[in-house]
Copies of this chain bind each other. A is one copy, B any other.
Amino acid sequence: MSEREKIAGRLKEARVLSGLSQAQAATKMGLQRPAITEIEAANRKVSAEELLQFADLYKVNTSWLLGEEVLDGDETEEFQFAARELSKLKPEDIKKVFDILKILPK
């Protein structure tokens, strides 16, 4: 399954879940309805700008639309904690932390 098909599927899923018809989505996106049909059939590319628009319209993350790994709640908590703690360090010290990480057993 191609990236395009995966993105297409998520765009359709997001649209349906947001309760919009292709025609309504097209209007809000400033596109013709067939464009939505083709996008959801993976026959038409989606530009980076359109991706942002779609994410806004359908109320989803661009990362999710792109099929990237989404951190679950637990990991998000830890991620934010780690980032917050790291941000208290100087950039050079942050580098040191990452260097330590590289030495740690896998």
A residues adjacent to B (C-beta < 8 A): 3-4, 7, 45-52, 62-63, 65-66, 68-69, 71, 73-76, 78-89, 91, 93-98, 100-101, 104
Contacts and interface: CB of A to CB of B under 8 A. Distances in A.
Nearest to A49: B3
18 contacts: A45-B48, A46-B48, A71-B80, A74-B84, A75-B94, A78-B88, A78-B98, A79-B84, A79-B86, A79-B87, A81-B98, A82-B84, A82-B94, A85-B101, A89-B101, A93-B101, A97-B97, A100-B100
Given A69-B91, A82-B98, A86-B101, 7 more contacts: A78-B91, A79-B87, A82-B83, A82-B89, A83-B86, A97-B98, A100-B100
